[in-house]
Every structure is written in C-alpha cells, then in structure tokens.
Amino acid sequence: MHFLSFTPILLLQLTNLPVLHAAKWTYTGQEGQQYWSKHYPYCGGSFQSPIDIESELLRFDPTLGPVEVQNYDLSSDEQLTLGNNGHSVQLSLPHKMYISSLPHRYTAAQLHLHWGSTSKPAGSEHLVNSQQYAAELHVVHFNSDKYPNMSMAVDKSDGLAVLGVLIEVGEFNPAFEHFLKFINDVKYSDQRVQIPGFNIRALLPVRLDEYFRYDGSLTTPPCYPSVLWTVFRNHVTISHKQFLALATTLYSSHTQDSTAVPLNSNFRKPQPADSRVVLVSFKEELDLDRTKTKVQDTTLEKKTSTAREYSSFFFTSSPGNVIKQDPDAIIPLITYSLFIIEFACSSWVFRKHFFSPSHSLDFLLCCGRQNMVGLLAGGCFML
C-alpha cells in the first residue's frame, strides 16, 4: 500500500469542432459515421458528442455564472474567411475574441454549422429530451493559456471549449445574413471568400446565463474527447429562406468532380451519455419537451455523516451524491457519480487518459472495486 499526500482537483471540463482533414469520411454511405471508428478509434470510445440532453442527466450547479465573451463585436473593416471544407460552412475568427468566464482563457478559432435537409429539416447535433432542432451553430475556442494554437490543443483533455446554439426555423435573423449572403461564393469544397466582420455576439441567444454544460468530444473525426461543451438553453431562429440557403446551396464535392454531392444533413447522431452528468446554470423548472421537468440540485444537504465531514478535508467544495456511507467507519469510503477529469496526489497528476474511458468518479473513489484510489484522513493510497 503506497501513501501520498492528496489534493484532488476536480474539473468538470465540459464543450464539432475543427473539421480535420485525414482519411476521407462522410456522414452517410461507405465512409459514414457508423464506420468512423475504423480509422478514428476515439469515435468508438466513451464520452462522445453530441448527446441527447435528457432531464434525468441534469444537475443544477450554483457556481455556473453567465457566459462572458470578449471582443465579439467585430468591425466591418476586419476581413474574415468564409469557406466550405466539404463537411460544413466555416467562418474563421480573430484571436482577439475569447471566453473570459472559464478557469482558462479560451480563444476563438472558428465557427461552423450543422443542419438538416429540405426533406428532413431537423439537423441539430444536440437534442433536448429527444427534440432535434433545424440546425446548430458551434463557436470553437482553444485553451490559449496552455497551448499556442488549435492544433496543439485539439487532442488535450482541457484543450477546447465550444459554445453551441440551437437553431429553429422562424423569424429572419439579420446576424446570420452577414455570412449567409456570401454562401453562393463557397458552393463547392475548398472554396473561400473574404467577408466583412460583424457582431458575432448577435449570433448567440440574448441570455447567456442559461445553458447546459458537459464534458464531451469533437463531433467529427478524430472525435477527441477534448471539449468543454456549453449548449445554450434558448434557441435562436433563422427564416425558411435562410435555412434553404444552407440546405440547398452547398456541395461537399469539388468544382471539378463529375458528380455534385449536396452538403446537407451534416450532423452526427446522439452518442451514449456514459453515466455523464449535464450541469445546468438555472434551477427553475424547465419546459424541455412541453412538460415541466424539475432540475435536480447537486448542492448537498446538511452534513449528516462522518463520511461527509471527512470529505471536507479532501475537496474544496462539498461533493454530491455521496452514498454507501458507514458513519462508524474509521476510514470513510466516499462514492460519487460525477465524471472525473483530473486529480493530483502530491506531484503526480492523473488524467482520464490513464484510465479506461468507462471509469467515472463513481469507479475511481469507491471501495477500491476498480483498484484505483482509496481515501483516508490525511492522504490517499494507491490500491
């Protein structure tokens, strides 16, 4: 039995992302998403995105404040690159844009969309209680405090943070028109055009204080589990004409290809939740699927057991879902149901990549049944 001083660091590092070019992949057909894992093993792993944000996964986190973004209002004098990468339409973003409300500074890199088709308009990647929206916007950021660029950050557990915006067909959206009006200039794969800058903040919902947050992955190959997902509770709208511009104008094929392949229905299907918890920043009742669903509160009730009292020695905040406690035990065994990203024993730092993807905090801190880590007052021991 090996003893070390123990200071746990629990980071719910939550966040399609940079669409990377390597082996050919598509959403359907012989290179479709059901075959991605043959060339990209992470795509068949755990903690993948997107997910169906179901009521039973939700836990209220009172520490989640409003999302704060900086320098999103771009001048029309700034030139942005709009392009068709064969999988989506993508807009490059200047590095002066960033998220300031996370533990690290996450700098903007690009935004892109996912959408359906004229025959099946539903095309969002994330679902809310099995409801799929017409489209979804992703604003992609990388951890610039720790990594110099997107390429270095993309496969790191704390590398990326993505803002997800659900889109429904409804009223005309002038903010989206700033780039949709140029979409005819990027009809085919690898075509690009320069467009004037505009207020990127206007693409997001008015309220940035209501959102879902969870730890997930890229929604395209190579599917690295490196994304802190923030999906806003409130959707935005685009007009039917604007939706048709996405669904009927673009092609995933090149100009010189003999067959033009329409670019639509470019969304990944929901992935297993894998015992993950989806944190929410709002506590009131939710009208998710036209019925009222109460969000559960993860804040602990008054401490009632020796185990909970001991837990204060190990964690900076009270853990949730403590179960199977023996109040008379000399060594309290503490069990949680949250996904663990990182913890530290003395100078050693253990990351999720060292464990089986199926391991959650419930497995790591419990009776040693997975031969990982046990706790006792004053330290930790490796089993």
Catalytic center residues: 87
Beta bridge partners of 127: 52, 132
Q: Give the dihedral of Cα atoms 361, 294, 49, 371; nearest 10 deg.
A: 10
Beta-ladder partners of 141: 108, 161
Rounded to whole angstroms, the Cα distance separating 183 from 128 reads: 29
Structure tokens at 374: 């046990």
Chain center to CA of 304: 35
CA distances from residue 62 to 97, 282, 301, 318 in whole angstroms, order as listed: 26, 8, 14, 12
91, two tokens: 């807009």
| Tokens representing residue 318 in the block | 């009270």
Give the distance from CA 321 to its chain's centroid.
Answer: 23
| Residues whose CB is less than 8 angstroms from the CB of residue 361 and which lie 6 or more positions away in sequence, other chains included | 10, 336, 337, 338, 339, 340
What distance in Å separates the CA atoms of residue 306 and residue 328, rounded to the nearest whole number? 7
Nearest to 113 by CA among 222, 242, 14: 242
The helix (run of H) or strand (run of E) holding residue 176 is: helix 174-180
